[in-house]
Amino acid sequence: MKYNYADYVSLFKAIADQTRLNIVELLSSGEMCACQLLDNFEITQPTLSYHMKILCDSGIVNGRREGAWMYYSINGAVMETILEFLVKIKSNKDKCIGKPSDPCNCK
C-alpha cells in the first residue's frame, strides 16, 4: 500500500499515547489475549478496548476473535512501513524538499 503524509499522521497518532505504545511493545513478543494485556495495566476492560480499537483501526495491530476472547498481534507489514518512512526521512538526500538549492546569503 502506498502511504501519504495523512496516513503516516494517523499511524503516529495511534502510537502517540503511553498506554498504546506500551501495548505495542508488549505485543512485540507475540500474540496476546486481551486478558493478558489487561494484566499489565491498571485500566478497565472498556479502557483497553478503547485503546485496542485505535490500534486496530490504524492497522498497527491485528485483532481476531476466538469464541468470547480477542487476541491481538502486531501487523508486521505496517510496522515495517513506519520504520521505512523513518529511515527515509532520516537519510541525507540530494533532492530533499527542505534542502535549499542555493547557499544562504544571510549576513
- What pTM value is reported for the model? 0.83
Phi, psi (deg, nearest 5) at residue 32:
-135, 145
pLDDT 10s digits, 56-65: 999 999 999 9
Q: Do the domain assignments include residue 99? A: no
Task: Supply the CATH number for residue 14's domain.
Answer: 1.10.10.10
Our count of domains for the chain comes to 1
Domain membership flag for residue 104 = no
Cα gap 73→88, rounded to integer Å: 26
Domain boundaries, position 35: 5-90
* Residue 83 belongs to a domain: yes
User: Is the pLDDT assigned to residue 92 strictly greater than 70?
Assistant: no
Residue 10 is assigned to a structural domain of this protein: yes
Residue 102 domain-assigned?
A: no
Residue 46 lies in a domain: yes
Strands (E), 1-107: 32-33, 61-66, 69-74
Look at residue 42 and tell me if it is in a domain. yes
Q: Which has more pLDDT, 42 or 92?
A: 42
